[in-house]
Chains A and B, each alone.
Chain A
C-alpha cells in the first residue's frame, strides 16, 4: 500500500488582535492508503485546524502538503476545486452542518450538482445508492434534517461526503455529539465504508477510547504542536511523552476493578498566542528542566515508528 498523504512541517498561524495565534506549528506525518490516522488533543490544540489545512480549506502559513505524490500546497483555484472530489470532510455537529432548507436528497446531491458532471437521472441514482450505503432508509429522501435524529443526520453528512467518491476523508469529531449507542453505530459504519472503498481517514477527536478503536496510528497534539505519534496500540501500551501519560490516565474507565496509576496533570493549557520558544507543555510538566524553558523540542524517532517531541524523553522513560 502506497502513501496517499504526506505533510511536512505544516504550520498555520492566524492573525488576532492580540498577536499571532499558532494554531498548528511544524506538524509532519504521512498516511498510507486505506489507513486511519487519529489526531487527539484537548480543545484549542489545533486538531480541527490541522484537518482543514490538510484539506486546503484553510491556506497553510508554512510547510508542504503532498497528496498522491503531488505537491498541493500552492495550487490554483481550479485545481483546488478538482481536489474536492478526492478529499472530503465529515463534520462534528449534525445540526449546523446541514442546510435546514434542503431535504435529504438535495443535501446529498449538492456536491454532485456543483460539478455538473452528471445528469438529473444519474444524480438521483447516486443519491439513492449513497443512502443505501450509509444505511439511511430511502423513505427519508424528502424529509428535512430537522425531522431526523442526530444519528440519521450524521449519516446524511457521511453520504454527502461520499457522493463524490473521495479517496481521503477528514472526520472532524463525527461522533462527539451523539449518544453512545448511536456513536457505536456510526463508528461501525465508518469502518465498513473504509473497508469497502479503501478510504483513508484522518480522524480528529478528543475522545481517546474512540480514537484507539478506529485508528492505525495516533498523533497527539498539544497547543498547536505535535507531541507524540506512533501506532495506536503502542501509544496506549507505552506512552512516552509526559503529556500523553497524563492524558491517558485522565480518561475515566468504565471498569470498577481497573487500578490505574494516576499521573495527575495540574494547571491548564497555555495560550497559543505568540508562544515563547519553549516546550508548549513546560508549565504543566512534572519533569521540566532548564532546556525545556528555552527551546521548543524537536520531533524525534525515539523508538522505531515512535516519534516524540520531548527534550527529556530518554531520561523519563529510561531508554
Chain B
C-alpha cells in the first residue's frame, strides 16, 4: 500500500458567475521514501492538489466534488478538523514557495522550530530547544544562530529554517510547493541537495511541486504532468524523460532552452492554457496540440496504461490510432 493515495480527486471553485474546474479526476500515489514530481504551468491545479491533501483549501469557494485522499489508508477528506490538525505538521508537512513570508518576524528562528517540537512532539520546553538546535545543525545552520531573528537570515538560510521546521517532527510525507523558485541557482543547488540528503536520512516521502523539469530530473523518482487540472502523463522518471508520449510533455521539453545542445529556435507550444472555467469538451490540450484530429475535440481521451506504470491521456497514443 502506498503512503499517500489520491483517488479520482475533483476540486472546483464555485464562484458567483462561474465554476472553475481546478482539479479534474486526479489519481496519484506516493510511496514511502519516494519523491513524486508534480509538474505543470501556473493555474494547472498543482497547488490546489497540495492544499486538498493538507485540508487547507479555502472553503468557500473551493469544493471537493468527489474523490478520496488516503493517507496510511485513512481518508483525509472525511477526517474531523481536530484529527487533521494532529496529522498536519506532524505526519504531513508542507514547505511553501516564499520563505520570506513563512516565518514569524518577531520570534527567533530557534523559538519557531522549538514551537513545532513542543506542539507535536510531547517535548518539554528545554528538550524542544535542544532538539531545535540539532535540527538547525542538520540543515547546515550554525546552532549559535538560533537566537537570531528571520530578517537576519538570507533567503537561502530562511528556506533552510523552513525546511528544518517542516522536518522537525520527522513527517512521513513532505509536500514542497516550488520550494526553490524564490532562490538563486547556487543556493537552490544547496537546498535541493539538503532535501535529498534528508529524504534518505528520514525515509520521508515527498510530493515536489514544480515547473522546472531540471529540478525534477535531479530529485524525483516518479513524475506526474498536470495540464488544466488533469493528469496527462504519469510514470517513472525514466519513462517520462526517455520516452515522453503526450504532446504536452513533449512540448514542455521543447520549450526549455537546452544547455547541452545548440538550438537556433525554440519550439514553443502555441497558444495558451484554456480558461479553467470554460474547458474544451474533448481533450483539454486539443486547442494547442499539433497532432489534434477531430476525435480529440469531441471525446475526452482515456487515461491508458501504455506500458507498466506509464499512463498517458491522449487519443493518438495506444489504442487503434498510433499516429
Direct A–B contact present (CB less than 8 angstroms): yes
Q: Mark B59-70, 1 if CB is under 8 A from A, else 0.
A: 000000000000
Contact across chains for A268 and B156 when beta carbons are under 8 A apart: yes
Contact across chains for B255 and A256 when beta carbons are under 8 A apart: no
Contact across chains for B217 and A180 when beta carbons are under 8 A apart: no
Q: Cβ of A151: which chain B residues have Cβ within 8 Å of it?
A: 272
Asked whether any CB of chain B lies closer than 8 Å to the CB of A83, the reply is no
A206 and B237 alpha carbons, distance in the complex (Å): 27
> Within A194-252, which residues are at the interface with B (CB < 8 Å)?
206, 208-210, 212-214, 233, 236, 246-252
A191 and B155 alpha carbons, distance in the complex (Å): 33
A292 and B231 alpha carbons, distance in the complex (Å): 53
Across the interface, A252 reaches (CB within 8 A) one of B187, B192, B242, B270, namely B192
A266 and B190 alpha carbons, distance in the complex (Å): 8
Asked whether any CB of chain A lies closer than 8 Å to the CB of B147, the reply is no
Asked whether any CB of chain B lies closer than 8 Å to the CB of A42, the reply is yes
Contact across chains for B259 and A253 when beta carbons are under 8 A apart: yes
A183 and B189 alpha carbons, distance in the complex (Å): 23
Contact across chains for A256 and B238 when beta carbons are under 8 A apart: yes
A147 and B266 alpha carbons, distance in the complex (Å): 27
Q: Cβ of B269: which chain A residues have Cβ within 8 Å of it?
A: 181, 184
Asked whether any CB of chain A lies closer than 8 Å to the CB of B256, the reply is yes
> Within B244-265, which residues are at the interface with A (CB < 8 Å)?
251-260, 262-263, 265
Contact across chains for B185 and A181 when beta carbons are under 8 A apart: no
A250 and B214 alpha carbons, distance in the complex (Å): 11
A43-B184, A180-B256 are contacts. A149–B218 as well, Cβ < 8 Å? no
Q: Cβ of B266: which chain A residues have Cβ within 8 Å of it?
A: 184, 187-188, 213
> Within B167-200, which residues are at the interface with A (CB < 8 Å)?
184-190, 192-193
Q: Cβ of A179: which chain B residues have Cβ within 8 Å of it?
A: 41-42, 211
Closest B residue, CB atoms, query A255? B217
Contact across chains for A180 and B41 when beta carbons are under 8 A apart: yes
A250-B185, A250-B188 are contacts. A256–B268 as well, Cβ < 8 Å? no
Closest A residue, CB atoms, query B219? A252
Q: Cβ of B155: which chain A residues have Cβ within 8 Å of it?
A: 43
Closest A residue, CB atoms, query B238? A256
Q: Mark A169-200, 1 if CB is under 8 A from B, else 0.
A: 00000000001111111011001000000000
Asked whether any CB of chain A lies closer than 8 Å to the CB of B303, the reply is no
Contact across chains for B157 and A256 when beta carbons are under 8 A apart: no
A248 and B186 alpha carbons, distance in the complex (Å): 9
A180-B252, A188-B265 are contacts. A251–B241 as well, Cβ < 8 Å? no
CB distance from A81 to the nearest CB of B (A): 36
Asked whether any CB of chain B lies closer than 8 Å to the CB of A121, the reply is no
Contact across chains for A149 and B157 when beta carbons are under 8 A apart: no
Contact across chains for B256 and A209 when beta carbons are under 8 A apart: yes
Closest A residue, CB atoms, query B220? A256
CB distance from A163 to the nearest CB of B (A): 24
Q: Cβ of A181: which chain B residues have Cβ within 8 Å of it?
A: 41, 251-252, 255, 268-269
Asked whether any CB of chain B lies closer than 8 Å to the CB of A265, the reply is yes
Contact across chains for B187 and A254 when beta carbons are under 8 A apart: no
A182 and B213 alpha carbons, distance in the complex (Å): 15
Q: Cβ of A120: which chain B residues have Cβ within 8 Å of it?
A: none
A151, A181, A253, A269, most chain B CB atoms within 10 A: A181
Contact across chains for B211 and A268 when beta carbons are under 8 A apart: no
Asked whether any CB of chain A lies closer than 8 Å to the CB of B125, the reply is no
Q: Mark A39-69, 1 if CB is under 8 A from B, else 0.
A: 0001100000000000000000000000000
A214 and B269 alpha carbons, distance in the complex (Å): 18
Q: Cβ of A250: which chain B residues have Cβ within 8 Å of it?
A: 185-186, 188-189
Asked whether any CB of chain A lies closer than 8 Å to the CB of B216, the reply is yes
Closest B residue, CB atoms, query A181? B269
Contact across chains for B241 and A255 when beta carbons are under 8 A apart: yes
Closest B residue, CB atoms, query A251? B185
Q: Mark A245-284, 1 if CB is under 8 A from B, else 0.
A: 0111111111110100000111011000000000000000
Q: Cβ of B189: which chain A residues have Cβ within 8 Å of it?
A: 249-250, 252, 264-265
CB distance from B213 to the nearest CB of A (A): 4
Contact across chains for A254 and B272 when beta carbons are under 8 A apart: no
Contact across chains for B217 and A149 when beta carbons are under 8 A apart: no
Contact across chains for B214 and A253 when beta carbons are under 8 A apart: yes
A146 and B73 alpha carbons, distance in the complex (Å): 44
A157 and B313 alpha carbons, distance in the complex (Å): 36
Q: Cβ of A253: which chain B residues have Cβ within 8 Å of it?
A: 214, 217-218, 259-260
Asked whether any CB of chain A lies closer than 8 Å to the CB of B212, the reply is yes
Across the interface, A180 reaches (CB within 8 A) one of B255, B258, B259, namely B255
Asked whether any CB of chain A lies closer than 8 Å to the CB of B151, the reply is no
Q: Cβ of A187: which chain B residues have Cβ within 8 Å of it?
A: 257, 266, 268
Contact across chains for B272 and A180 when beta carbons are under 8 A apart: no
Q: Cβ of B157: which chain A residues have Cβ within 8 Å of it?
A: 268
A212 and B261 alpha carbons, distance in the complex (Å): 10
Contact across chains for B260 and A255 when beta carbons are under 8 A apart: yes
Which 5 A-B residue pairs are closest in the complex by CB-CB distance? A252-B214, A184-B268, A213-B257, A42-B184, A254-B213
Binding site for B on A (CB under 8 A): 42-43, 149-151, 179-185, 187-188, 191, 206, 208-210, 212-214, 233, 236, 246-256, 258, 264-266, 268-269
- Using A252-B192, A256-B242 as known contacts, list a sample of 17 further A-B pairs with CB atoms less than 8 Å apart, ordered by residue number in A: A42-B185, A180-B41, A181-B269, A182-B268, A184-B266, A187-B268, A188-B266, A212-B259, A233-B262, A249-B189, A250-B186, A250-B189, A253-B214, A254-B216, A254-B256, A256-B241, A266-B190
Q: What are 26 A-B pairs at a CB distance below 8 A?
A: A42-B186, A42-B187, A43-B184, A179-B42, A179-B211, A180-B41, A180-B211, A181-B269, A184-B267, A187-B268, A188-B268, A206-B184, A209-B257, A213-B263, A213-B266, A214-B257, A236-B259, A249-B189, A252-B188, A252-B215, A254-B217, A254-B253, A256-B238, A264-B193, A265-B189, A266-B190
